[in-house]
């Protein structure tokens, strides 16, 4: 029986059937010069980039000398140890600042700087090379010490170990105290008085002082000096209060002190007949002026005689010799004619030299330490304020 004839159904009969794997070999062209026979081809494998990279890196470090590797390791270790040491210093400074704030009852924590490197061996050994403490705003009598700064050396720590420090012993301490002019002007500024340096031990006080509702211009010289080993004393001199252009008040009981007319107001008084007659009508005033009684009687009864008296060169000086406080109680009508407020004169009579000096006093006393001694060694006036040198020995701090 004859086999049936196979009829191809491929749409392109001239092309091989790619579904037949045998046809893939038929695609080989033996005449292609660029085609390598299949028998000579090597089997394909993926590239080994990552493994080769590892080998190269290992090879790069493997080539370094051992000594260099050791140095690099030591540097890394030293960096970590330094970081740990500095962290320990910061922690210790913070703990010390909090302890000082609580024990000294300060409004703000002081600044504590522990010097010396490394710190941890010092702490383990119980001895610190150097510690600097700066305490701001420490109250001292009527003023505030703007800054107290001190440095101690060879501090011995008291405690059972680095984590249980109870206190410290300071064999020697050096520091200084600054009484800032800015702080003094603010704290004593209720009187609107400012303080400025005028030499190594001299301070000028200038400003306005309110008295009985009047703002009087104040001038005074303050001398600064050491009061023993623990205090500062101030001497107030040249105090005077100016009542406008009318009079000047100098506290005290001497003839040149008290309330006196200024040269300008005394000259103006000589030109006002009514005021002169009121002044000459007080016998105590006439005696203070040194004018003879006969001359006064003639001046009060005769305008020409009065003009001759007030026109003399000595009259202005004679009028300035009168202490107007003497008229405060006995002749208030005279004060009214002169344009003076009796309430102001009454307040000035109570503003004595000690009272006024107390308002301008800048002195203070150092507190006695619990142990050892703390002394003042030098006092001087600088641009910023009054600077005082401190020295201490055998001090102990802590519990």
Determine the pLDDT at residue 256.
82
Q: Would the pLDDT of 202 be above 90?
A: yes
Tokens encoding 377: 């060694």
Question: What is the Cα–Cα distance from 65 to 88, expressed in whole angstroms?
Answer: 35
Determine the pLDDT at residue 248.
93
What is the value of pTM for the model shown? 0.65
Under DSSP, is residue 199 helix (H, G, I), strand (E, B) or coil?
coil
- Exposure string of 301-330, with b = 16+ CB inside 10 Å and e = fewer, is eeeeebeebbeeeebbebbbebbbbbbbee
Q: What does the CA dihedral 286, 291, 292, 296 come to, rounded to 10 degrees?
A: -70
Tokens encoding 351: 């503003």
Least confident piece of the model among 71-80, 247-256, 259-268, 386-395: 71-80
Q: Mean pLDDT highest for which of 65-69, 102-106, 376-380?
A: 376-380
10 Å CB burial of residue 194 (0-12, 13-18, 19+) is middle
Q: Mean pLDDT highest for which of 73-87, 90-104, 241-255?
A: 241-255
**pLDDT tens figures, 296-329:** 888 888 888 888 888 888 888 888 888 888 777 6
Q: Would the pLDDT of 25 be above 50?
A: no
Determine the pLDDT at residue 191.
61
Question: What is the Cα–Cα distance from 252 to 35, expressed in whole angstroms?
Answer: 129
Q: pLDDT exceeding 90 applies to what percent of the chain?
A: 7
Q: What angle do CA 216, 218, 221 make, to 5 degrees?
A: 170
Q: Would the pLDDT of 90 be above 70?
A: yes
| Cβ–Cβ under 8 Å, residues 367 and 266 | no
Q: Mean pLDDT highest for which of 47-61, 87-101, 192-206, 335-349?
A: 192-206
Q: Which residue has the tokens 């506290």?
A: 251
Per the model's pLDDT, the better-predicted residue between 366 and 29 turns out to be: 366
Question: What is the Cα–Cα distance from 388 to 117, expressed in whole angstroms?
Answer: 31
Within 8 A by CB and 6+ apart from 140, the residues are 179, 364, 365, 366
Determine the pLDDT at residue 350.
86
Q: What is the mean pLDDT of residues 239-252?
A: 90
10 Å CB burial of residue 348 (0-12, 13-18, 19+) is buried
Q: What is the mean pLDDT of residues 370-393?
A: 87
Q: Is the peptide bond before 118 cis (omega within 30 degrees of 0)?
A: yes
Determine the pLDDT at residue 189.
58
DSSP output for 103-148: HHT-SSPPEEEEESS-SHHHHHHTEEEEEEEEEEEEEETTEEEEEE
Per the model's pLDDT, the better-predicted residue between 148 and 68 turns out to be: 148
Question: What is the Cα–Cα distance from 191 to 188, expressed in whole angstroms?
Answer: 7
Tokens encoding 328: 């405060």
Q: Of 391, 270, 360, which Cα lies nearest the Cα of 320?
A: 270
Question: What is the Cα–Cα distance from 183 to 97, expressed in whole angstroms?
Answer: 23
Determine the pLDDT at residue 24.
46
Question: What is the Cα–Cα distance from 89 to 285, expressed in whole angstroms?
Answer: 76
CA distances from 10 to 60, 81, 214, 265, 337 (A): 63, 83, 126, 138, 142
| Cβ–Cβ under 8 Å, residues 146 and 182 | yes
- How much is the mean pLDDT over the chain? 77
Determine the pLDDT at residue 30.
54
Banded pLDDT at 92 (limits 50, 70, 90):
confident
Q: Which helix (H) or strand (E) holds 232?
A: strand 231-243
């Amino acid at each position: 029986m004859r086999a049936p004839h196979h009829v191809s159904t491929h749409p392109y009969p001239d092309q091989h059937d790619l579904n037949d794997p045998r046809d893939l070999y038929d695609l080989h062209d033996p005449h292609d010069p660029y085609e390598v026979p299949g028998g000579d081809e090597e089997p394909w494998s993926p590239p080994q980039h990552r493994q080769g990279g590892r080998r190269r890196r290992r090879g790069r470090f493997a080539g370094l000398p051992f000594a260099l590797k050791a140095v690099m390791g030591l540097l890394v270790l030293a960096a970590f140890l330094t970081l740990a040491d500095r962290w320990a210093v910061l922690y210790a400074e913070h703990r010390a600042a909090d302890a000082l704030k609580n024990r000294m009852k300060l409004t703000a924590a002081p600044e504590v700087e522990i010097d010396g490197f490394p710190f941890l061996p010092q702490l383990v050994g119980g001895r610190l090379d150097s510690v600097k403490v700066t305490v701001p705003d420490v109250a001292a009598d009527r003023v505030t010490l703007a800054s107290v700064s001190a440095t101690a050396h060879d501090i011995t720590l008291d405690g059972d170990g680095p984590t249980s420090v109870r206190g410290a012993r300071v064999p020697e301490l050096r520091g200084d105290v600054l009484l800032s002019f800015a702080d003094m002007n603010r704290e004593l500024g209720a009187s609107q008085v400012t303080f400025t340096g005028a030499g190594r031990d001299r301070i000028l006080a200038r400003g306005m002082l309110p008295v009985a509702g009047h703002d009087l211009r104040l001038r005074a010289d303050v001398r600064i000096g050491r009061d023993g080993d623990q205090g500062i004393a101030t001497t107030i001199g040249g105090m005077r209060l100016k009542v406008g252009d009318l009079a000047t008040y100098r506290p005290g009981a001497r003839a040149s002190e008290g309330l006196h007319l200024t040269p300008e107001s005394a000259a103006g008084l000589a030109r006002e007949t009514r005021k002169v007659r009121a002044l000459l009508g007080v016998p105590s005033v006439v005696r203070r002026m040194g004018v003879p009684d006969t001359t006064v009687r003639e001046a009060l009864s005769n305008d020409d005689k009065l003009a001759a008296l007030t026109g003399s060169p000595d009259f202005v000086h004679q009028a300035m010799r009168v202490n107007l406080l003497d008229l405060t109680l006995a002749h208030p009508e005279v004060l009214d004619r002169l344009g003076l407020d009796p309430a102001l004169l009454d307040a000035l009579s109570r503003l004595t030299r000690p009272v006024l000096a107390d308002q301008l006093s800048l002195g203070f006393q150092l507190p006695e330490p619990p142990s050892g001694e703390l002394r003042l060694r030098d006092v001087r006036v600088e641009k910023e304020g009054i600077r005082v040198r401190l020295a201490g020995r055998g001090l102990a701090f802590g519990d």
